[in-house]
């Protein structure tokens, strides 16, 4: 039916394209080629047919001028179908090499798991598990029981739970405590985190009414005080995540908010964004307050992500007072936002690493990359340089230079982390084109461009990836 319709539509157009269209081989003819017959031995027929139709459709849509140049022989079309099928048959979600130096790159999957977390995830992935049962008593249990005591111990909080991600955590808290009530937020904290997390929009969807106070750069305690009405349910403190306001600024600290909220019978929540369990100041990193500090300040509820600085799977962690956590767990939405067993396993293993800080720093990739000493990075840069410069030879200018890595993922936005990078200026291709070809490598290699040069940062690489990158360079330069 489809075929005939297309053909009829074409009758009306110019006779030249008519001639061209008649040269496009029919589906049956392509299926009879040797290439496709062989392909059908290893690939599902549905996938092959789908690819044939797609390739033919692509040819029909070509502008007349281009169509003339297209090879119409069944074997040539079959070859394109073959490539198309192999591409579709390969995993669509797959590992890539991150040479950008952005540790928590949301588009590249944010944190990747520690070996221990990976192992834990695999152990429950293709097996039954005690997800919601106590094996000793055969009594039904809560899936969060596997995590809550550990979270409470690490965060020093009376109670905790875990949901799908931090956006879900904020949503659940607002819906539980502030449905049809008012929540006061400083204008300096009304953040948008990439990928459509806009605080005002989440609040609206949760049923809470946002009351903005102060200005972008200055908010006083009195601004909150004046905004409190009998409809107010909560004062919300939000980590500004991916930006830093510098210069003439003032925000009200969490402790002061808690004091005000308590005196007026209100709740205080802190959306900590990244959320970190170790004191990064000790390691020379600015002002990222640990989650424990927010609990200590008396916040009723704190929330943070599992796959940002914590370095675990995607998750939203909520911690705070027992009564507050109980109310959130009883909210029917909690069921809609719950985490699956794979992530519970990965999160448990990640959290266990934090029982000993040195273990966490060694085993959790996000922390290891962030805290990797510069002399080590310099050695790695030299090693990568050696592998690449041999391949580049005269085909461009390559050098080691000082540079900066970024944490990304909405933490330490103002922090430039000194690193050593490889700078490469290809001789024949523009850096953009070279970067695009690296991304088309298998596995794809992601780099950064700065000052019109290609930048590769060993901080987010594993030395075993250097050889793959060198091979990708070689393939591109040889063409």
Q: Using CB under 6 A as the criterion, which residues of the chain lie in contact with ligand PLP when the complex forms?
A: 165-167, 170, 191, 193, 197, 238-239, 241, 271, 273-274, 305, 316, 410
For the range 240-244, what are the long-range contacts, defined as Cβ-Cβ under 8 Å and sequence gap of 24 or more?
A: 240/188, 240/189, 240/191, 240/413, 241/191, 241/193, 241/273, 241/274, 241/410, 241/411, 241/413, 242/191, 242/193, 242/194, 242/410, 242/413, 243/191, 243/413, 244/413, 244/414
Residue 322 Cβ vs ligand PLP, minimum distance, rounded to whole Å: 24
Residue 304 Cβ vs ligand PLP, minimum distance, rounded to whole Å: 8
Residues contacting residue 292 through CB under 8 Å, at least 6 positions apart = 154, 155, 156, 277
Residue 289 Cβ vs ligand PLP, minimum distance, rounded to whole Å: 13
Residue 27 Cβ vs ligand PLP, minimum distance, rounded to whole Å: 45
Residue 164 Cβ vs ligand PLP, minimum distance, rounded to whole Å: 8
Give the residue at shortest CB distance from ligand PLP.
273
- Cβ distance to ligand PLP smaller for residue 73 or 336: 336
- Output the CA angle 363-364-370, nearest 5 degrees: 115
What the block records as the tokens of 84 is 């198309």
- Cβ distance to ligand PLP smaller for residue 189 or 292: 189
- Cβ distance to ligand PLP smaller for residue 275 or 396: 275
- Cβ distance to ligand PLP smaller for residue 164 or 447: 164
> Under a CB-based contact definition with an 8 Å cutoff, are residues 367 and 205 in contact?
no
Residue 121 Cβ vs ligand PLP, minimum distance, rounded to whole Å: 18
- Cβ distance to ligand PLP smaller for residue 271 or 348: 271
Residue 435 Cβ vs ligand PLP, minimum distance, rounded to whole Å: 26
- Cβ distance to ligand PLP smaller for residue 302 or 477: 302
Q: Looking up tokens 């009304």, which residue turns up?
A: 190
Give burial (CB, 10 Å; 0-12/13-18/19+) of 187.
middle
Number of Cβ within 10 Å of residue 215's Cβ equals 14
Number of Cβ within 10 Å of residue 92's Cβ equals 7
- Cβ distance to ligand PLP smaller for residue 213 or 318: 318
């Amino acid at each position: 039916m489809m075929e005939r319709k297309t053909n009829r539509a074409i009758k009306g157009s110019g006779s030249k394209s008519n001639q061209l269209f008649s040269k496009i081989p029919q589906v049956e003819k392509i299926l009879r080629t040797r290439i496709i017959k062989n392909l059908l031995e290893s690939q599902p027929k549905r996938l092959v047919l789908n690819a044939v139709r797609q390739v033919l459709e692509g040819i029909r849509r070509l502008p007349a001028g281009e169509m003339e140049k297209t090879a119409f022989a069944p074997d040539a079309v079959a070859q394109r179908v073959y490539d198309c099928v192999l591409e579709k048959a390969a995993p669509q979600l797959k590992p890539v090499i991150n040479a950008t130096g952005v540790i928590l790159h949301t588009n590249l999957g944010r944190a990747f798991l520690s070996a221990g977390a990976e192992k834990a995830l695999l152990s429950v992935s293709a097996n039954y598990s005690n997800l919601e049962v106590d094996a000793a008593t055969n009594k039904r249990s809560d899936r969060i029981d596997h995590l809550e005591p550990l979270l409470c111990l690490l965060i020093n909080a009376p109670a905790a739970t875990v949901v799908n991600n931090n956006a879900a955590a904020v949503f659940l808290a607002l819906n539980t405590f502030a449905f049809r009530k008012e929540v006061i937020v400083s204008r300096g904290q009304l953040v948008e985190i990439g990928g459509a997390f806009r605080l005002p929009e989440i609040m609206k969807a949760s049923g809470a009414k946002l009351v903005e106070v102060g200005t972008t750069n200055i908010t006083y305690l009195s601004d909150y005080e004046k905004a409190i009405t009998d409809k107010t349910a909560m004062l919300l403190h939000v980590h500004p995540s991916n930006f830093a306001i510098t210069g003439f600024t003032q925000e009200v600290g969490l402790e002061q908010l808690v004091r005000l909220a308590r005196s007026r019978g209100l709740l205080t929540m802190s959306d900590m964004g990244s959320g970190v369990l170790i004191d990064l100041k000790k390691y020379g990193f600015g002002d990222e307050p640990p989650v424990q500090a927010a609990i200590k300040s008396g916040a009723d509820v704190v929330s943070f992500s599992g796959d940002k600085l914590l370095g675990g799977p995607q998750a939203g962690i909520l911690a705070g007072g027992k009564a507050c956590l109980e109310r959130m767990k009883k909210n029917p939405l909690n069921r809609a936002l719950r985490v699956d067993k794979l992530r519970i396993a990965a999160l448990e293993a990640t959290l266990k690493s934090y029982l000993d800080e040195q273990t966490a720093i060694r085993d959790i990739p996000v922390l290891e990359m962030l805290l990797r000493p510069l002399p080590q990075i310099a050695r790695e840069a030299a090693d990568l340089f050696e592998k690449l410069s041999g391949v580049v030879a005269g085909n461009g200018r390559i050098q080691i230079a000082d540079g900066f890595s970024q944490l990304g993922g909405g933490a330490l936005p103002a922090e430039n982390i000194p690193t050593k990078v490889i700078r490469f200026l290809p001789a024949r291709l523009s850096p953009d084109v070279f970067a695009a070809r690296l991304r088309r490598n298998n596995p794809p290699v992601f780099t950064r461009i700065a000052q019109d040069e290609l930048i590769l940062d060993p901080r987010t690489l594993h030395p075993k990836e250097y050889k793959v990158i060198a091979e990708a360079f070689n393939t591109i330069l040889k063409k």
